[in-house]
Every structure is written in structure tokens, then in C-alpha cells.
Amino acid sequence: MPELPEVETTRAGLAPHLEGRRVRSVLLRRPDLRWPIPPEVSERLPGQRIVAVRRRAKYLLFDTEAGSALLHLGMSGSLRVLPAKTPVREHDHVDLALDSGRVLRFNDPRRFGCLLWQEPGETHELLRDLGPEPLSEAFDGEHLFERSRGRSAPVKTFLMDQKIVVGVGNIYAAEALFAAGISPLRAAGKVSRERYAALAGEAKRILAHAIARGGTTLRDFIAPDGAPGYFEQELSAYGRGGKPCPRCGRPLKQAMVGQRASVWCGHCQR
């Protein structure tokens, strides 16, 4: 289930194989992903040279002079660069054949991912209202404090709102709140400036560390080179409901917060 570190790991793994390469052809085996793949992808991408592989939030952008392919991995998507004759597996929905003789293959069992098109010089509407990147200077405690005033929703829901900050999903929200000692149930508008400073700092630290470790391997995530991520071994809260808190040893609580499974320590997180 790709979150920002997984998407960044994917981007970094793909870039050396794609940048400077020309797209020979596009094969759509199954165009009905989350949204239908628009005709521009198969009409305008062939023949184009990929000049950059970028990431914005959890979206990957493959830039060409004719426009950019915009890809979201959804919850189960993965991308691999493979020899052109590699046998197709179930759920291999899209192939981009490259002039290197290899193919960029998109596999997505649950089809929550998408492949869209962005015109040159434009910003796709899905990217327009996104919050700052969590590892940028624009994201800090002051940003969280200002945007949270008057909001009664749980701070975990607030932190996962992509308009507030991008790329923080269920796993890293749980981990950042644990590290900062903030209960996920606390109303976002009731968290102090000082505690938001701690939360922003922990979110940055955890995300940067997860990227360095190759993301989190949970069921579906595999990096483009086929290697699993190693961050899962270091999770303190996520997926550990009922197990001892790494700090105080008391059992971690588990409940739904904003429709999402949440784990926290009732003693260490207030």
C-alpha cells in the first residue's frame, strides 16, 4: 500500500531506467482502472522521450515534451522495468515499451490506481489543491497549527488530509503521532503550537528514514527492482494493536478513527 516513501522509492528506482529513453509503444491490457485511461496516453506518448521522472504527493509524473503521464499506484499498484519478453502476470494492466528494449509494466490487482494525462505547462486538477510536501520547508508546525484552528476532526484525520500535507497515509500518521506523543483522537484544533512543531518534526524524520530504508513492505509493496522495503521491521504503533507499547509496555489500543484502523498508546499519547 504505497505511501509517500514507497512512491519515492519507486521513482528513484525507475528514473535511471526511464530518463532519456524514448517510448516506443503503449499497450493497454485493461484501461478501466480507477478512471478510464484517457486516449492521450496511447496517442501522444509513443515516440516521446522521457525527460524526467518526478513525484508530487503520491503521484508519479513521466515528463515528455508532449505532456506528462500521471500515475497513481492506488493501494496495490507496482511498477517494474523488465525485459520486453517477460511473461505477463495477472493484473499487468499497462506496458510502456522503451527504446532500451525493456518495458515499464504497471500491475495493480485492485485497480485503485490510475494513469492520466497532463498537458505541458498545465497542472492536472488532481494536483491543484494539494498541500505542501512533508519534506519541504513549507511544511512545519506553524503550518499545521494555523490550518487546524477551529477544526474538531481528530488530529489523525487532519494529518491525513492531502490538502493539509501530502503523502502522510495511515501508517506514517500512526507512527508520527506515536513519536510525538499525541493521541490520534484529539481534536486537531486543540493541539498546541509546540506539539504541532514536534509532530511535524517527527513526520519529517520518520518519512525521511522510511525513504532511506526503501519504504514499508505490507502485503503489496515491492520496489521496482523487486526488493522489499525494510521499514516495517521498525514500526512502533501501526499494526501492533494489543501488543506492548515500545515505550511503557502497556498494551496498545486499537480502534477506528475516521474510518481507518488506528493504533496508539493510551498512556504515552495524550
Partner DNA sequence: GAATGAACCTGGCGGC
Partner DNA sequence: TGCCGCCAGGTTCATT
Query: What is the footprint of DNA within residues 37-56 (CB under 7 A)?
Result: none
> Based on CB atoms, which residue is closest to DNA, 98 or 176?
176
Measured between alpha carbons, how far is 49 from 20 in angstroms, rounded to an integer?
A: 6
Instruction: For residue 3, indicate whether it is catalytic.
Output: yes
CA-nearest of 261, 239, 260, 241 to 251 is 241
Segment (H or E) for 80? strand 78-83
Instruction: Decide: is 74 part of the binding site for DNA (CB under 7 A).
Output: yes
| CA atoms in the 13 A half-sphere facing the CB of 264 | 28
33 neighbors 110 (Cβ within 8 angstroms): no
> Based on CB atoms, which residue is closest to DNA, 19 or 161?
161
Instruction: Decide: is 261 part of the binding site for DNA (CB under 7 A).
Output: yes
Instruction: Decide: is 213 part of the binding site for DNA (CB under 7 A).
Output: no
Instruction: Decide: is 90 part of the binding site for DNA (CB under 7 A).
Output: yes
Measured between alpha carbons, how far is 202 from 159 in angstroms, rounded to an integer?
A: 12
> Based on CB atoms, which residue is closest to DNA, 50 or 71?
71
Residue type, 224: P
Instruction: For residue 85, indicate whether it is catalytic.
Output: no
Q: Which residues bind DNA (CB under 7 A)?
A: 1-3, 32, 34, 57-58, 72, 74-76, 90-91, 109-112, 126, 150-154, 157-158, 162, 169-171, 188-189, 218-219, 238-239, 256, 258-261
Which residues have a catalytic role annotated? 2-3, 58, 260
